[in-house]
A and B are shown apart, each in its own frame.
Chain A
Amino acid sequence: MNYVFSTFWSESILFTFILFATQFVPKKKEKYGILFKIFGFSLICISILILHTGANTTENFLKFLLFISAGMILVNIHQILIEDGIATQEWLILFLNILMGGLIAISSTNFLGFFIGLELQNLAFTVLSALKKDSEYSFEPSIKFFICNTLSIFFMLFGIAILYYALGTINFDLLNQKFETTSYTILGYASIAAAFCFKFGIFPFHEWMLDLYKGLDNASLLCFNTIFKVTIFAVALKLYSVIFIHIPWLQDLIIFLCIISMILSSIGGIGQSDPKRLLAYSTIGNGCFLALGIFNGMNQQNYIFYIFCYLITNMSTFFSLLFLKGNLRTGLIFTQSKLSTTFLISVLALGGIVPFPLFFAKILIFYRLIESRAYFSTFAAIISAIISMFFYLKLAKAAYTSHYEEEETIHFWKIFFPVLLAILLLFSFIWAPLLGAHLTNLLQ
């Protein structure tokens, strides 16, 4: 009983929040800012509660990550939404729905809950990404996202149905017990794997992600890159323990595809000049690197550690990009030195070079790859890391060349959050070992 309660109380509170957001919003639009902040801080409080009172399970940590990132986004995003001309109330409700979908997907114990969570996220995100009504580009990615993700979800549903036909259950634990290799189960698992590849943006199914990144407005992009991504990473973990662990050839296939997409993403990024598309390639590369780790049997605490580091780095990158309005003009270092330095630090951190948290996470994954004697994967990961470092530096370069026009500077407190994140990134050698040790203690 206790277990069920601890699993679901956070979702219940969130549901209440959504109800509140739909019913009791202030009439004056100026007061939305406070509402956003209240919601944000409450989400952060919930995340701390989850960490302290919940069971020490992987699910709870993932939920914690979702809540805390959502809270941080809500606290900081209001001004940007206003500037972008996006309807804030709708955005808030849809955003909370996306969070809800993620929570349901993470805490579900069977494929149906999984499906419901992901579908809820899909629908909410489809509308959220089309909210910027004055832009013709925002409609396009929204439709693209909808079609592609509905297709992938359809594959998943198809797989679930076949599994239910073949094994008589869709519960994860029972599926694990009853596993047998028949042509039906293989078909079911393979179609679920295809859906997973779609969601993850693994090689043959990665094109939609690039288009999505190009068209999306900044706020939706931030939402996609944090909440959505964490959900997908959580899904990967769960699917690995339910499906892929039983079917070695499927594992090998996905590892192979991951290697290809890592290298493709790094090569594809070279020719790009649009920062958003570059970041799309980077997301694919990072995600596939993580997938390599999990498919080579990396343990869960290291997996969560990677997700945490990735989340912080990504938030820092996207927040600074948000305040720069997605426009990397030359000479930013002169006009907005704090913000451009933050951006530089975050981009270098995305590349995973030394003092930044993703480096420590990278060590863990490389270690796992070497320990399981996956030398080819290691080699591919190195090559892609080197090539992708090139485009990360290219992103940074724009800000540091010397032609510039005078421009108003943003007030420091407005950009306090990305600066704080960048400082966190710089001093990761202090908190990374503590966090790692904490995770290891709790999840062993």
Chain B
Amino acid sequence: MRYRLTMACLLVVASLYGQQRYQGGLLPALNVSHSFGSDWKINMKTESRQQFFRGGTDRLSGWEYENVLTDVAFVLGRKIQLNKTLAGGYMTRFRDGELIHRFIQQFSVVQRSNGWRLGHRFSADQTFADGEAGTYRLRYRITTQRALQGESIDPREFYLKINTEVLNEWQGGDYHLEFRFVPFIGYEVNDNNKIEVGIDYRLSSFLDGGRDQRFWTSLTWYLAM
């Protein structure tokens, strides 16, 4: 126990004095889904990452606009129980003129409890790009959602949603760990139409003695058709 505590303290200290980088900007996304049959759903998500500023101990800091990347993903899901869904899909990433391919598998569970809704997402993905070793990730995300007026989220009401995610990544023998924390304010136009705005905070590289922090202003529109 004492050893673990010491190691944790050293890790924190190392991350404070190690190489630090930060990056931020806008993350607009459109998430469209369509249900068919009694249990099937197809989901399409497109997301664009627009960098507005970057900096760190090893680079010049300041405002710097860059269209970092654009993702387009299609995921096919099948409800295997009332609140459990298995899904798999494919994502294409456009980055600096190159094409990156990602295969996605996920299992999600949605729970309700006294005015709260809780979503668990367990997912795995495999990413391939020309000239790079394949990247393999295992992720777990927990999402809590609560109405800001009343006990349930009704049309034309605001709500609070918080995502917390852990990402384990392996690439060419290296291991990386990333944490994401995203508090959102959402607005429900109706059950099939929601808009969410939040700060997507990502922390990584602390295992290597550094600290990469990214702050994206996330703006997502969920549409179900």
Q: Do A and B come from one complex?
A: no
